[in-house]
């Protein structure tokens, strides 16, 4: 606490991201990054952009990227908004759409940034408990009064997917509220809710380059929704920082979206490694939720998760442990290369 802090700064409980050790010795399976490098075309595009005019401000509309995303998703450019990582897009969406007079709805076990944003904007949150198997109780979102809804699909950290058409009922029951579907991990086997945008003006689908395009370091995310929603996001953005994406990020992001072959190749690889790792963990006695993401959510009946986490760490493998009610027996393990997962499995086999 400092006398210089505003009441707002003093009241905040910031999000704590996973550890990013300087020490490269660690096998890093703790922050859901992609183990493969980004497309070589991304690096070329960023280098070319660095040799251009960094003296000048970037395009405040991020027009080239908006255009690429519009073509990729077969929507109009007026239905696309881009930002500095999906975290920033989420922050703008909370500000633009959520009614402070009513609670925002999200699951009790979900991406913990939602709670941080709700507090930042002074919104009440009504937490919907996942069922015993960590399934999303969708019908609860139909009946509870709310000023907005946010659901990640697949959910984090459970890795579990809701079939996209099951969101239709929520969208119909909440026609006066915005329903955000956070698709940070959708490319690892799920079907996107972008197809619902044509039918529902209240759905906002948020995606990112951080996971399936291996670009967590570039900070690019986007939202697809009705023109009405995109206008709302632009109002917030242009009242805060009109240049959210820099010239390097813009160039790299366009190249990433255009290199579909590379994206498909590494995504298939990550999914294969995930499915093989899940089989081997089950053989070791672990409970593993059905994952449609680039991570696994695992628990062992005989060993405390915190103990496994510590032992893995001592052996140079970082995973994520959440000291949180209901999931304190679980670990979240990001999918690395086959070689990294072999090391992880050998180490964990000795612990359990
Ligand atoms: N949503 C979910 C569910 C996430 O797990 C993450 C990554 N921590 C994000 C959004 C944010 O991703 P980024 O800001 O890197 O796009």
pLDDT at 34 (0 to 100): 98
Integer distance in angstroms from the first to the last C-alpha of the chain? 42
Say which residues have a Cβ less than 8 Å from residue 239's Cβ, sequence separation at least 6.
none
Closest to 38 in 3D by CA, of 215, 228, 217, 231: 215
ipTM above 0.90, yes or no: yes
Lowest mean pLDDT among 11-20, 118-127, 206-215, 221-230: 11-20
CA distance 142 to 246: 40
- Output DSSP code: residue 196: G
What backbone torsions phi and psi does residue 133 show, to the nearest 5 degrees? Answer: -90, 15
- 76-to-90, 234, 237, 245 alpha-carbon distances in Å: 21, 15, 20, 20
Query: Is there a cis peptide before residue 154, judged by omega within 30 degrees of 0?
Result: yes
Residue 33 Cβ contacting ligand 1 at under 6 Å? no
How many other CB atoms are found less than 10 A from the CB of residue 4? 7
Q: What does residue 10 show for φ and ψ, rounded to 5 degrees?
A: -65, -30
Counting from 1 in the atom list of ligand 1, the atom nearest the Cα of 220 is 16
| Alpha-carbon gap, residue 269 to 340, rounded angstroms | 13
Mean residue pLDDT across the chain: 97
State if residue 184 touches ligand 1 by the CB under 6 angstroms criterion.
yes
- Considering only CA atoms, give the Rg of the chain: 20
Q: Which atom of ligand 1 lies nearest, measured to the CA of 156?
A: 3
**Cα(137)–Cα(114) distance, rounded to whole angstroms?**
18
Cα(152) to ligand 1 centroid in Å equals 10
The mean pLDDT of 149-178, rounded to a whole number, is: 98
User: Does ligand 1 have an atom closer than 6 angstroms to the CB of 221?
Assistant: yes
Asked if 245 and 237 touch (Cβ cutoff 8 Å), the reply is no
Is there an atom of ligand 1 within 6 Å of 110 CB?
A: no
Residue 255 C-alpha to ligand 1 middle, in angstroms?
21
- pLDDT surpassing 90 at residue 311: yes
Please check whether residue 86 is in contact with residue 245, taking contact to mean a CB–CB distance below 8 angstroms.
Answer: no
Whether 23 has a pLDDT exceeding 80, the answer reads no
Q: How far is the CA of 34 from the centre of ligand 1 (A)?
A: 13
For ligand 1, say whether the CB of 183 is within 6 Å of any of its atoms.
no
Whether 85 is in the pocket of ligand 1, judged by its Cβ within 6 Å, is yes
Is the pLDDT confidence value at 24 over 80? no
Atom of ligand 1 nearest to the CA of 111: 3
Residues above pLDDT 70, as percent of the chain: 100
User: Which residues neighbour 136 within 8 Å (Cβ) at sequence distance 6 or greater?
Assistant: 107, 128, 130, 151, 155, 160, 162
Q: Where are the alpha helices (DSSP H) in 132-221?
A: 138-143, 167-173
Whether residue 216 has its Cβ less than 6 Å from ligand 1: yes
- d(Cα 181, Cα 143) in Å, to the nearest integer? 18
Provide the pLDDT for residue 19. Answer: 84
Compute the distance from residue 283 Cα to the ligand 1 centre, in Å.
31
Q: How far is the CA of 220 from the centre of ligand 1 (A)?
A: 10
Residue 165 pairs with which residues in a beta bridge? Answer: none
Query: Has residue 282 got a pLDDT over 80?
Result: yes
Which atom of ligand 1 is found nearest the CA of 209?
16
Inter-residue contact 300 to 352 (CB < 8 Å): yes
Give yes or no for residue 157 CB within 6 A of ligand 1: no
Ligand 1 site, residue 111, Cβ cutoff 6 A: yes
pLDDT digits (tens, 9 = 90+) for 60-75: 999 999 999 999 999 9
Mutation choice for ligand 1 from 107, 109, 111, 190, CB with most ligand atoms inside 8 A: 111
pLDDT at 18 over 90: no
User: Coil, strand or helix: which one is 176?
Assistant: coil
- Residue 27: closest CA among 315, 331, 308: 315
Contact call for residues 188 and 212 (beta carbons, < 8 A): yes
**pLDDT per position as a tens digit, 237-279:** 999 999 999 999 999 999 999 999 999 999 999 999 999 999 9
Question: What average pLDDT does the segment 146-155 reach?
Answer: 98
The two beta strands, 125-128 and 320-321, are unpaired
What local confidence, expressed as pLDDT, does residue 94 receive? 98
pLDDT tens column, 83-97: 999 999 999 999 999
Does residue 14 sit in helix, strand or coil?
coil
**What backbone torsions phi and psi does residue 277 show, to the nearest 5 degrees?**
-65, -40
Cα-to-centroid distance, 153 and ligand 1 (Å): 11
């Amino acid at each position: 606490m400092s006398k210089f802090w505003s009441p707002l700064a003093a009241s905040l409980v910031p999000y704590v991201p996973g550890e990013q050790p300087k020490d490269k010795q660690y096998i890093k399976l703790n922050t859901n990054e992609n183990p493969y490098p980004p497309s070589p075309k991304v690096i070329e595009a960023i280098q070319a952009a660095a040799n251009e005019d960094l003296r000048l401000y970037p395009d405040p509309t991020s027009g080239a990227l908006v255009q690429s995303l519009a073509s990729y998703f077969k929507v109009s450019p007026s239905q696309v908004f881009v930002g500095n990582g999906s975290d920033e897009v989420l922050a703008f969406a909370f500000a633009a759409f959520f009614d402070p007079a009513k609670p925002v709805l999200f699951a009790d076990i979900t991406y913990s940034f939602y709670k941080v944003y709700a507090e930042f904007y002074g919104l009440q949150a009504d937490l919907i408990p996942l069922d015993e198997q960590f399934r999303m109780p969708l019908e609860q979102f139909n009946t509870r009064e709310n000023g907005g809804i946010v659901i990640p699909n697949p959910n984090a950290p459970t890795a579990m997917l809701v079939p996209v058409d099951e969101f239709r009922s929520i969208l119909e029951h909440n026609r006066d509220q915005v329903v955000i579907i956070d698709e940070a991990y959708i490319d690892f086997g799920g079907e996107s809710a972008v197809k619902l945008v044509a039918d529902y003006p209240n759905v906002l689908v948020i995606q990112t380059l951080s996971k399936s395009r291996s670009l967590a370091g570039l900070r690019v995310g986007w939202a697809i929704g009705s023109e009405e929603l995109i206008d709302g996001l632009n109002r917030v953005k242009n009242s805060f920082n009109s240049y959210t994406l820099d010239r390097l990020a813009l160039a790299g992001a366009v190249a990433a979206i255009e290199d579909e072959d590379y994206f498909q190749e590494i995504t298939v690889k990550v999914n294969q490694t995930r499915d093989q790792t899940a089989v081997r963990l089950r053989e070791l006695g672990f409970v593993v939720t059905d994952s449609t993401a680039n991570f696994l959510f695992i628990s062992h009946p005989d060993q405390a998760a915190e103990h496994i986490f510590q032992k893995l760490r001592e052996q140079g493998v970082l995973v994520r442990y959440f000291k949180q009610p209901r999931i304190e027996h679980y670990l979240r393990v990001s999918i690395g290369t086959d070689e990294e997962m072999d090391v992880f499995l050998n180490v964990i086999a000795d612990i359990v």
